[in-house]
Amino acid sequence: MLRTQLMATGIVCAVLGGTDSEGFFNVEDYWPNGSLGNGRDSKSLVRLIIAGNSVRGSAVAHVLTLQLDSWFASWAQCLPIDVMPGAYDPVNFMLPQQPFHKCMFPQAAQLTSFQAVTYNCRLDDALIVGTAGQNVADLLRITSMESSLEALRCTLTWGHVAPTSPDTLACYPYIERDPFIMRECPHVCFAGNCESLETALHVTSERKRTCLVCVPSFGKTKRVSPW
């Protein structure tokens, strides 16, 4: 017997789960699949950024990699896709994490519109800097900050992507050059795998503007956050 909830959706979902001893189907995880829109909506889509934990959303959760590769390949035919590693994904643990090896997603890797990245890029003249959220989570863990947005704003004002590394956030030792220093004010600064969607426009004393975005974990919210 299935425990159901009333819902209406135009999205086809792939569901991972199983039945328990009482016959109820328990959903462990699910992924959206299908159309990315049409008409005016599709024209506004510039790039899809998957901000970490796509293969593993926790220490125990998992996704079928072959199916994930198929979805990425399908989506990459519609628009450019950047896939970042997260804290639980099968890459190196210490920051900066290396991109996924292309053998993880053999179908998608054949498309030039699919990129495995650790995020710092330019779209036209806009500089975009982001993480999978480890820097924000660590700041919340060891300080009295109450929101992910507050922690993300601090990384921007301090000019350092990972201010708690290497003390409480593991990173590679660098001697001559710190790769986490922001040498240029980004137009967009984001962190993935946060508790909820939070956005703000930060204006510096030099009148430079940065859009701050805390992207919630899809595994927790089951929602995609467009921004």
Q: Which residues of 115-153 are buried (b: 16+ CB within 10 A; e: fewer)?
A: bbbbbeeeeeeebbbbbbbbbbbbbbeeeebeebbbbbb
Q: What single string gives the DSSP state of each residue in 153-171?
A: HHHHHHTBS-TTTTTTS-B
- H or E segment and range at residue 54: none
Predicted confidence at residue 9, as pLDDT, reads: 38
Task: State pLDDT tens for residues 69-98.
Answer: 888 998 898 889 999 999 888 888 888 889
Beta pairing partners, 216: 194
Q: Whole-model pTM? A: 0.75
Question: CATH classification of 39-221 is 3.60.21.50, yes or no?
Answer: yes
Task: Write the pLDDT tens digit of every residue in 118-141.
Answer: 877 777 788 999 999 999 999 999
Which is more confidently placed, 25 or 77?
Answer: 77
